[in-house]
Amino acid sequence: MVVELSLENRDIDIVLDLLAPRAAVAGLATPAVTGTIDLTRPDIVLRGARGAFEARRWSGDPVAAAVLALVRDEWTDDAVEALHHMIVARREDRGCGEPSLLLRACAAEAFAADQIGRAAVLLATLHHLQADDAEAFSALALCAARLGQFDEALLLANECLKLPQKHPRAYCIAGFCELERGNRKAAQSLLAVGARIARGRPDFAEMLRAAQRVLLILHFA
């Protein structure tokens, strides 16, 4: 007997909104920066990241294949040009100078505007530049879930969980995807770990709420 464990659409929207990427806030933890990012020409950076993912896909890298599946129509030359102007305008208007935080802020704005493909391009670029940044990588997995591509979301979330920095969003996304597959026990375990990591961290408060909401639904299911 197969038991239907999928969440209602309203619950899915609430959970994914709670996991949404946010621009960095003063006083809260920000991802560690490894190396220097030069965003003098954002278009060159975006095209370089695209080329790197395409090369990785041809070599059989499943992460690159999953990323490119999310952004088929969002990483064209025209789209890169539009993103270039968006990044430059954001830098000039708001004075967000640190390149990784600038990309993160632009991705958060795109996600909030329901431009998920555009957000995915920015997050993929940041992941290319800083592969150990669990904040960007887990947000990329979230973009896949928001687009309904749960196989890609689970793959990206599980890859994110291999990083030294354990991010509650990755556990929440992996748990959410396992639930969509009907794997209740795996979902509960992942969500519980995500909640434990997020507890007591103001910067992870929304992710704690997301994990607790799904765990509560499962408890009464």
Q: Tell me the pLDDT tens digit for each residue of 151-171.
A: 999 999 999 999 999 999 999
**Which amino acid type is present at position 87?**
I
Which residues, other chains included, contact 74 with Cβ-Cβ below 8 Å and sequence gap of 6+?
Answer: 117, 118, 120, 121
- pLDDT value for 221: 66
Q: What span, in angstroms and rounded, lies between the C-alpha atoms of 200 and 205?
A: 8
Q: What is the Cβ-side half-sphere exposure of residue 184, based on CA atoms within 13 angstroms? A: 13
Q: What span, in angstroms and rounded, lies between the C-alpha atoms of 168 and 209?
A: 11
- pLDDT value for 88: 92
Other beta carbons less than 10 A from residue 56's beta carbon: 17
pLDDT above 80 for 97: no
Q: Tell me the pLDDT tens digit for each residue of 103-137.
A: 999 999 999 999 999 999 999 999 999 999 999 99
Q: Tell me the pLDDT tens digit for each residue of 35-81.
A: 578 888 999 999 999 999 999 999 999 999 999 999 988 999 999 99
- pLDDT value for 96: 60
Structural domains of the chain ordered from first start: 9-20+38-220 (1.25.40.10)
Alpha-helical segments (H) within the chain: 9-18, 42-58, 62-70, 77-94, 99-112, 116-129, 134-146, 150-160, 168-180, 184-198, 205-220
Residue 114: closest CA among 11, 13, 8: 13
Averaged pLDDT for residues 1-22: 71
